[in-house]
Structures are given as structure tokens and as C-alpha cells.
Amino acid sequence: MRKPILVFCIFLGINFSFGQLVINELDADTPGIDRMEIIELKSNTPSFSLDGYVLVLFNGSVSGGDASYYAVDLDGYTTDINGLILIGGPDVSPVPELLLFENTMQNGADAVAVYQANASDFPEGTKATTTNLIDALVYDTDDADDTNLMLLLGVTEQINENRNGNKTTESIQRKNDGTYEAKSPTPGRLNDGSGMQFNGIAFTTTLDQYNEGEHIAIVFTTETNVTSDLTFNFSLSNRGFTTKDYLGNTSVTISSGTKTKTINIQIIDDSDDEGDEVMNIVFGAIPAGYNRLNDQKRIRIVDNDYTTNPWGTPMNPSYGLVGSTAPLVYYDTLEGLSGTVLKQAIQDIIADPTKVRSHTYADIIDILKKADQSPLNSNKVWLLYTEQQRAKLDFQSSGGSNVGRWNREHTYPRSRGGFKNIEADDTADGIDVYTVTRADSLRHANSDAHGLRATDGPENSSRGNQDYGEYSGPAGNQGSWKGDVARGILFLSVRYNGLDVVNGNPANSIVGELGDLATLLDWHRNDPPDDFEMNRNNIIYSWQFNRNPFIDQPDLVEYIWGNRIGEIWSSTLTIQENEIPNVSVFPNPVDSHLFIEGLSDKSKIEFFTVLGAKIYTLEINRQMRIDLSNFSKGTYIARITNENRIIQKRVVVN
């Protein structure tokens, strides 16, 4: 007889504890990009454990289907002395106990609910339910009532955050009688103004960026004077930035009767080229009666030990300083071929499943940091389209604003190619972990570094999935990127079955076609491969074990798509530079006259464009002064034949 009574009492006790946790405040629509969203929970008793509870967000839109789109376990959290726990975005003050990414919450009609359950019980797409439900709030911002969502959650009223016409500056707040009102947000405080009032602590720095060797003054301030000495700690370490990188005390004491304390930190100027780093100022444990008004401020520490490269940027290109790392026999199988047979032979090299490797989309970040590294500063990448440098640290790693950030641009848009992410793409597992890939492995085009470039975030968005020619870069760009893009697109169209480049502007809905071929051919011809692009090809080769042949052998483009279709290709006009002792060709670059010294009699010099067209032939003597004043500015291949030896040089005419 006693056992059923005991079970009944336990059941009542559980229901009683559930009933004391409610959704106290919600702010879904905030100014800007929603970095100040709030979900605040309230328990009837202070310091209430939230173990065993989960917060779930439901999407009430037609496409959302009244199903979950976000769930987070509350295990390990407790409410504060006022019975509150604040959950919110990165700009909420005081600092939330549980942080949300910016723009996490939908604006309505949607719902927030608390369950006795785990986040694993609510995978994305789980229908709203009353099973194990503790409290739910269905809300909107001037949207029609979602009666089905209300029914699924067992609530009878949908609350409008915009009931006063101030949806971005007011929040939904629960009153003591269980009804709701909209008014100015009160994060971290009871909605009626009662309860314990905390003394907030904040810190500031003069700048957000400092150089190695400089001092940083961190000023800690409380809202009101402290009534006794207040002591707490803070930390600065963050990944590669450690205690070896700075000097200074990380303990703070604000003396009784005052409200401020300045801590001076010395950044050590070492000689290591470790790249720019980020120092993160983070509060340690805060004594009772205080809360954090801000936290986790990231400070850029600029490394002054960066290196430069001898070759130029795409805007100021150099030629002949970076040699190909391709094996001497890499293109041997192309010799004497033409037409579709030549194209297939190229694919056989660059999609060889016994050699070629595919890496994850996350690995692309590390590849681009090396392949697109700015020749002017090893801590920066060179951006496609906008033709500028940007710090490697400013990669856009998640959602939110892309202003001032760089990200990964698919030159052949994913939507146009039909290749997308899979879950494994989110893991960067390094150069030694790879997947076997074939010509039919179209999905691997998603993470093929030959078709991906570092780009300015907003400009990447502006390009969208337009064809080239339809898109020609931002206003005022010099087009230094155009040949690079052309060769990347042409590579992909040979590397993967199912991708093609065509004339005109095919409909964006046609998967596997991208234009405009005629434009890309012009870009390839007018912007030949330079040292930056050759270095990029070498780095990608070290990861993927394949090369872009249209960088190494740019004349191949004409044999596949251009003015030499059907002709037999020969490697005779490779642009590899060979040396003959005691022969000098100078100056290079040249303005008008080129000098050649050290040859024997009966030598010959021939000039070719980088696409293989012969434009000039001349018999030369031991010493020769050649007039190139009629040559157009650009890069040429000079082939000198001397005593059955051949020397080839890139010659740049200014």
C-alpha cells in the first residue's frame, strides 16, 4: 500500500518543481543584425538548477512547419539570486549566462519552449509538442496567429512584440499575473524592478588593435562605488596568444569607495614570425552582488615580423621568379594530341584517381591562407575582385555580417555546378587526410582549391551566381583577377564531368553550365599567368596532387576552346626557362631595346606570345641589340637557338 503512495508523492513533487520555471522575457527583433536577442527564464526560487531542461525554438512559417530549428541543453546552469537566467546575443548587457549567435531567433510567428528533456530529443525539424513541456511562448511581430503552433503547444494566446509599434526597441515581458506586456528590455533584472540590484562591472581599452611592443591600458569600472575592496581576476590567453606574449598583472582590486582601476599590459615584441594574433580579455569569477556588463573583448595584436615575397601581386605582376614544381614528365602524355583526345588526356592527368586527392571544404581555409597569401605581407591574403589585402585573421568563420571579412568564393558557383556541402566538409583534418577522387566525383568540386579564391565578403555576395561578363568585378577594378578566374573555370570544366563553360549567359537554373566562354577566353589572353598564380598552383599541387595545366601551359586553352582547335599540341613552346652558360639577356623587363650577349655565330631568336603565336624571328650574332619598341606591353617568350641548344626566357615589355 505504501509504494503507490510514495510514487504519487514523487510525481507531485516533480510537477511542482516544473511549474516554477517560466519564460520571463523575450526579445526576438532587435536593431541591426539582431545581436541583442533575449530569452530570459525565471524560477520561483533562487539558484534553481536547470539540469534536465532544454530550450527549444520552433519555426512557425509555412516552410518551417511548426518544427524545431534550434535546441540547447540547460544542464549545468542555475538561475541567479533573483531566480533569473539570461540567454542572449553577443551584444546583450549584462552578459548572458548562455550566449546565442547573432540572428539566432526567428521574428514570428514562432515559439520558444522549455521542456524536461535533452536537445537530442529535438533534432531540427521536430514538431512542437506538449510532451514534457514546462512553458511555451508563441510570439510574433505583427504576424497572423499561428493557430496550429498554438494548438501543438497548448497555448491560447500569441503575443505581439510590436503591439506598441516598437518591435526593435521593446521586448515581450511576463507580468506577475502571468499575462504579457511589451516595454523597454530589462535583461538580467526582474520585470517589475524589484529584487536585488547588481553592481555592473565593465572594462574598456582605447583601441581594438595594437602592435607588438606596445602597452595596453585596460580600465575596469563599476556602475557605482564599491563599499569594500573588490578583487577579481581576468585572463588574456587565446589560442596562440599565451602568457609568453605579454607581461602584467591579471588580478584587479578596486578599492573601497572608488569605482575604477587601470591595469597596464605590455605586449612582448619577439622576433618570431607567428602571424597576427588575437588577445581575448575575459573576466574570471565575479563576486556575489556584481555582474558583467561586457566580456570577451578581442584585441588584435599585429605581428611586425611578417615576411614578403620577391614576386608581385596580381596588380603589379612579375614573371619568371616562381618556377613550376611539376615533374618534368607531368604533361608528356599530351604530346602530339589534338581535339577531344587532347582534352581527355588533360582530364586523365588532373583527375587521376590513383594520385589526385580531395580535401574538405574546411581545409580550404588553410589552403587559401597559403595559396592566396599576399606577397606584400605573410599575415594577409590577397582578395580576388577587390584587388586588396586583408588580414588572414579576418576570415568570416560563421554567419552574421561579412563586412571587413573575407571568405571562400566559388568561381564556378555551387548552385550552378550542383555541388554542395556535406557534414564531413565542416572538419579541417589537414593535408595528410584526404579522399580519393575521380572525374565523376562532381561533389568534390565544392572543395577544389583551383576553383576557390579568397574574396571580400560583401563582394562575394554581390557577384552571387552570375556568369562572367555579366559580372566584371566592382567599379574601378583593374581586372588583374580576370585571367586567374578564366583559367580556374576552364580547369573545372575539364576536371569534372558534368561541368561546362559555354558562350552567352545560360539560365541560372541550368545546372552544369556557366558563361561566358568568349569573355573568359579574352580574359585569359589579356591577363596571362604570373608568378602569383604559379605560386598558387604549386601550393595547391602540394595538397591535391594535381595542377592547373592552363597556368603551366597557357597555350593549351587555344587548342581546346580557342583559335587552334583541332591542331596537334606540342610542348616545344613551354615557358620553362633554361640556362646556357655565359648567355645574358637584359634588361628584363625592357622598355625598348633588348641586349643579348655571349652567343656564338648563326644563332636565332624567336618571339612568341604566351599563347604560342610566333610574332617575330631574327638572326643574331654574338652581341645583339634588338628593337622591341613596336611590341605591345605584355609578356613574351623568347626562344634562342644556339649550337643545337635552346634557351627560353620570359621577356616583359613595359
Alpha helices in 242-398 (DSSP H): 339-350, 363-371
The pLDDT, as a whole number, for residue 574 is 44
Instruction: Supply the pLDDT for residue 182.
Output: 97
pTM of the model: 0.68
Length reported for the chain:
654
Q: How far apart are CA 291 and CA 289, in angstroms?
A: 7
Return the pLDDT at 2: 35
Residue in the structure block whose three cell numbers are 588574456 = 236
pLDDT value of residue 13: 37
pLDDT of residue 115: 98
Neighbours of 592 (CB within 10 A): 12
In degrees rounded to 5, what are phi and psi of residue 220? Answer: -100, 135
pLDDT at 420 (0 to 100): 83
Number of H helices, E strands in the chain: 11, 37
Counting as low any pLDDT under 70, the low residues of the chain are: 1-19, 399-400, 572-582, 600-601, 610-613, 622-623, 643-646
| Contacts for 92-96: CB closer than 8 Å, 24+ residues apart | 92/35, 92/36, 92/37, 92/38, 92/187, 93/187, 93/200, 93/293, 93/294, 94/187, 94/188, 94/198, 94/200, 94/291, 94/292, 94/293, 95/291, 95/292, 95/293, 95/294, 95/295, 96/38, 96/187
pLDDT of amino acid 15:
37
Supply the pLDDT for residue 644: 59
What's at 613, amino acid-wise?
A: A
Task: Give the count of beta carbons closer than 10 Å to the beta carbon of residue 599.
Answer: 24
pLDDT recorded at residue 600:
66
Separation of alpha carbons 636 and 252, rounded Å: 66
